[in-house]
Chain A
Amino acid sequence: MSDFQPIILKDIPDFHKIEVYMKNGGYGAFKKALKMKPEDIIDEVKKSGLRGRGGACFPTGMKWSFMPQKTEKPKYLCCNGDESEPASFKDREIFEKNPHQFIEGTLIACYALGIKTAYVYIRGEYYPWIVMLQKAIDDAYAKGLIGKNILKSGFSVDIYIHRGAGAYICGEETALLNSIEGKRGLPRVKPPFPANFGLWGCPTTINNIETLANVPPIIENGGEWFSKIGEPKHPGSLLYGLSGHINKPGIYELPSGTLLSDLIYKYGEGVKDNKKIKMIIPGGSSMPPLTADEIDGLKMDNEHLKAVNSFIGTGGIVVMNEDTDIVKVIKRIAQFYYHESCGQCTPCREGCGWMLRILKRIDDGMGRQADIDLLNDVANNIEGNTICAFGDAAAWPVKWAIKKFLPDFEQKVRENVKIPIANKVHALRLVSLE
């Protein structure tokens, strides 16, 4: 895939400026879309096979088709830039390097769905990026690309930024709706689904920032072109984020299905200080972790990760070397979920605290063998028993870490256990260095 050209993070200087963006064909897809029938645009997106980039991988075209065509109520689009999942930092790259492609995608989505108001939800901590995006939106307003009667087409739309204030849960789509309404970010019970009863009870679609940024190239080059990039079941490029014990961390835009070993050793230039890998988180802290033995030949897309009981999530990859204390890492992740639980559902509110306390006890050397079973039991009782996916997100890392790294936990409760480190990948890298 060496001939792959980035779709979103293009290597053009000053691409975030509207003049440069337009000089390179920017807003052409939107102009093209304005001449198309809305249902044809939805069909094109369906044909592309584009799937949501926020973690759930839901087909975008299908999501769009859930929006009622004829309704008395106003319709809304929410662009989800909450991006609070630990280890993901891709949307800020878009705000910084290519905000106009995202705005163009938002405009196309609004036109296709008959929406007049779009809210971009951005986490409160991203203040510098809110300023950047607001500048881009203002520029687009000044060029007459957002606002009333755009390009004399009779189509009007407004795009507003809603600044969050530090709550991981607001990335959950119904919590995000409540937050925009000026309430506490508590997830809502589904059904009713947002497509029928969203913002202020009106039909609402929620899409991730990266998803919307993929829309203009699809309209420009056709859905079929897009569907041929990367893995057929999860096509397009993904913004992979590399962090942790890695020589060259950062965001890499590559086709879906890129080998994890390539990501780590070719693009990330290997593990810091030439160490072996112990654990990998493939797509943000809530995704079940992988052992080093699972890396070999593993393609990074949702279908292939499902085969190893994990998910692509947001594509945020955390690499941990052989010296990493797995219990400490899982304890830190559990601490995060304990802090961020909204408190609505008992299993999650209480369970996250239990998990953290048990993990603290094990980490402090005060744990017993039975604590490991208890921990597993608590995790299993959170999973699937809450109204939103947060419960699963909190339970998975704990549950799968116990399953895959049991000796690490046992060593903390029984001194005579030795941790085996099985590792093919390190050998693989030594070969590639020669």
Chain B
Amino acid sequence: MEIKFTEESLKKLEEAKSRYPTNDAALMSALWIAQEQFGWISNEIMLYISSLLNVPFERILGVVEFYTMYNKQPVGKYHLQVCTNISCMLCGGYDVVDYISKKLNIGLGETTPDGKFTLIEAECLGSCGTAPMMQVNNYYEENLTKEKIDSILTKLSNS
């Protein structure tokens, strides 16, 4: 498959470039736009961005590896990122991980066979007052209980 930004993505990239005095500063925005379109950042995508922004491939690889939110491999349709840092841990963050792991029958970093869910453990997501919590793609699910997790997973499986 040929890697190419859609018209909309290209428009977003131009808008991002206009915010900075140099083209290479738009790199992080370009990667976000790519992840939105492709779901993850492959080597081919990095090469494509390299040609778009005129930034060396090696530097892009460095940036992608440095920031945890850029997916280096494909993830499921719903990326379940459960916080297990201190406040969530005290309120049962690891129980949430275990519960989801058992329910979906996947380990940390794994994806369900139907490609729907990927489960990972995340560092503090800044939602300590509403612990335990998890991030599903871009949105937060807070004050989790078993019942709440059940209803979230059921809703997502059916969508």
The interface residues of chain B lying within 8 Å CB-to-CB of A250 are 129
Q: Mark B47-83, 1 if CB is under 8 A from A, else 0.
A: 0000000010001001100111110000000000000
Asked whether any CB of chain A lies closer than 8 Å to the CB of B86, the reply is yes
Known: A88-B126, A281-B86, A318-B86. Is A165-B139 also a contact (CB below 8 A)? no
- Which chain B residue shows the least CB distance to A180? B25
The interface residues of chain B lying within 8 Å CB-to-CB of A162 are 19, 28
Asked whether any CB of chain A lies closer than 8 Å to the CB of B22, the reply is yes
B87 touches A329 (CB 8 A): no
* Complex Cα gap A181–B25 (Å): 4
Known: A182-B63, A332-B89. Is A168-B123 also a contact (CB below 8 A)? yes
Asked whether any CB of chain A lies closer than 8 Å to the CB of B26, the reply is yes
Asked whether any CB of chain A lies closer than 8 Å to the CB of B149, the reply is no
* Complex Cα gap A91–B129 (Å): 13
The interface residues of chain A lying within 8 Å CB-to-CB of B25 are 180-182
B21 touches A125 (CB 8 A): no
A124 touches B67 (CB 8 A): yes
A251 touches B129 (CB 8 A): yes
Contact residues of A between 351 and 381, Cβ < 8 Å to B? none
The interface residues of chain B lying within 8 Å CB-to-CB of A58 are none
Q: Mark A55-81, 1 if CB is under 8 A from B, else 0.
A: 000000000000000000010000000
Listed stretches B1-9, B130-138, B150-158; interface member: B130-138
Asked whether any CB of chain B lies closer than 8 Å to the CB of A102, the reply is no
A86 touches B31 (CB 8 A): no
* Complex Cα gap A168–B128 (Å): 16
* Complex Cα gap A184–B66 (Å): 6
Interface centre among B86, B131, B138 (most CB of A within 10 A): B86
A87 touches B128 (CB 8 A): yes
A87 touches B70 (CB 8 A): no
A86 touches B123 (CB 8 A): yes
Q: In angstroms, how far is the closest chain A Cβ from the Cβ of B85?
A: 5
The interface residues of chain B lying within 8 Å CB-to-CB of A168 are 123
Residues of B whose CB lies within 8 Å of any CB of A are: 19-22, 24-29, 31-32, 55, 59, 62-63, 66-70, 84-87, 89-91, 122-131, 135, 138-140
